Amino acid sequence: MFTIKGKTGDWEVVVGLETHIEVLSKSKLFSGASADYNPTVAPNTQVSMVDVAMPGMLPVLNEYCVDQAIKFGLGINAEISRKSCFARKQYFYPDLPQGYQITQPADQPPVVGRGWVEIMGDDGNPKKILIERAHMEQDAAKNKHDMHPAKSFVDFNRCGVMLLEIVTFLDTKNPENNSYISSPEEAERYLRQIREIARALGVSKANMEEGSMRADVNVSVKRVGSNTFGTRTETKNMVSFKFIKNHIENEARRQVEILESGGIVSQDTLRYHQDDGSSSVMRSKEDALDYRYFPDPDLLPLVITDEQIERIRKTMPELPAATRTRYIEKFGLAEYDAARLTESVDISHWFDAAVAGKTERAKGVANWMISELFAHPENYDITNEKSGIVDGMRIITPADLAELVDMVASRDINGKQAKEIFIKMLDGESGTPREIADKFDMKQITDTGAIEKIIDEVIAANAPQVEQYKSGKVGLLGFFVGNVMKKSGGSANPAVVNEILKQKLG
């Protein structure tokens, strides 16, 4: 929970997100034109008569797009409506040749109903964020104002591509369930979760930088512990985690200041300014637009059958939440580690590739990834396509890390040596960890005879400490272990050293 200390007490922030993701499909939601609108495609080459609303053209619903919506719905544990409708949301803008957007309005059942995703809450525990709905709609074209000093252009390639809008639910009747986003960090984790689910399912690239994911951010504040929610503001079309977090914090502080000085928050639509993190009012509730929604007479209601849902359910891959549970239950990983390793599908694939089904390896791989590898992003390829030396950097592969972990587990090398090998790899040493160990003659002394000899020497050289140890100062054990390890050049097996030392010192 993100709290703000006010003059009159503590406040907490409440966030609602309306997230748009651009859905991957060969053709558009209601036409056969290609849905590939990426910037390398020449403008206005992927456009059908339907997209630009030529008279008499009729929309035809793309079944594949419906499947994508169902798939995502199942991915967020949602109810799938057996019947939903399309309506026209009317407004005029050059990027909207129909004069209306075909969407599924808020007062009617959307294709995807109530659902939830699980994120890591700010207290480190799993937290369910409720989702109210997800619905299908058309994207608009793209206006281009920077191509000519006196003219604007429109590229219709994107016009009619399917969007899925996912709206979080604020359960005002059960506020104590705490099932909403309550900090900037939780907002980011929620969006990342949506992104990872969309990617794992192949529903969307959900990439904010590329514009295939954007969010409207609703913010309000309330007294900590209060069950009454405050009035919210809404900021449209935000496309960066950083700006979203910054905006939530700034907006919450602004609202607290207003409320503490006796004012009221007005339910406005805001515009965020990237340069200084401030926002200004775009329109107030009073001049809310009237879109004159009405059911689209050209489209039949969307009917979905149980068979259709079951067919899609069978093709669902493992989703991040299930991966996390598998890591905790099967591999015995800590909650935090499991969360870090499922932050993206690529990370969990990399981890799974290193573990390669060997459960006993999982904890070691997790530790190395989280505490060492993540600190050196230039030294591994998270998509696991590259290996060897790339741009002068030694790429550490899942197989490398697996071998390192196995060598420690089988006591061929000790932890310290493993670290040295890892550092050599970072420094550009080629070869597998085992080859590096051979090259630098690193192996662990587990031979008890050899270790015993070193221990005898250390005991002989430190008679006063031996006396102290025997008279009860057992904390000195570390001193002896340290000396033996040093004398062995770091290659003795610490467990064996401990064991023999304890015997010898009595």
Which residues of the chain form contacts with ligand ADP (CB under 6 A)?
A: 14-18, 106, 167-170, 218, 220, 229-230, 232
Q: How far is the CB of 314 from ligand ADP (least distance, A)?
A: 31
Side-chain half-sphere CA neighbours of 449 within 13 A? 0
Q: How far is the CB of 113 from ligand ADP (least distance, A)?
A: 14
- Compute CA distances 398 → 268, 366, 432, whole Å: 50, 11, 11
* Beta-strand relationship, 100-103 and 279-284: unpaired
Q: How far is the CB of 376 from ligand ADP (least distance, A)?
A: 38
Compare residues 14 and 404 and give the one whose CB is closer to ligand ADP.
14
Give the nearest residue (CB) to ligand ADP. 16
Compare residues 98 and 220 and give the one whose CB is closer to ligand ADP.
220
Compare residues 151 and 173 and give the one whose CB is closer to ligand ADP.
173
Q: How far is the CB of 284 from ligand ADP (least distance, A)?
A: 13
Q: How far is the CB of 218 from ligand ADP (least distance, A)?
A: 3
Work out the angle between the directed axes of helices 320-329 and 184-201 (0-180°, nearest 10).
Answer: 100
Compare residues 250 and 462 and give the one whose CB is closer to ligand ADP.
250
Distance CA 191, CA 179 (A): 15
- Strand, coil or helix: what is 422? helix
Q: How far is the CB of 23 from ligand ADP (least distance, A)?
A: 20
Contact 241, 188 (CB under 8 A): yes
CA angle (113, 117, 118) in 5-degree steps: 155
Compare residues 292 and 313 and give the one whose CB is closer to ligand ADP.
292
Compare residues 13 and 413 and give the one whose CB is closer to ligand ADP.
13
Compare residues 230 and 398 and give the one whose CB is closer to ligand ADP.
230
Which segments of 330-395 does DSSP mark as H helices, in order?
Answer: 335-341, 345-355, 362-371
Q: Is 426 buried (19+), middle (13-18) or exposed (0-12) by CB count in 10 A? A: middle
3-state helix, strand, coil in the chain (%, to 5): 40, 20, 40
Q: How far is the CB of 129 from ligand ADP (least distance, A)?
A: 10
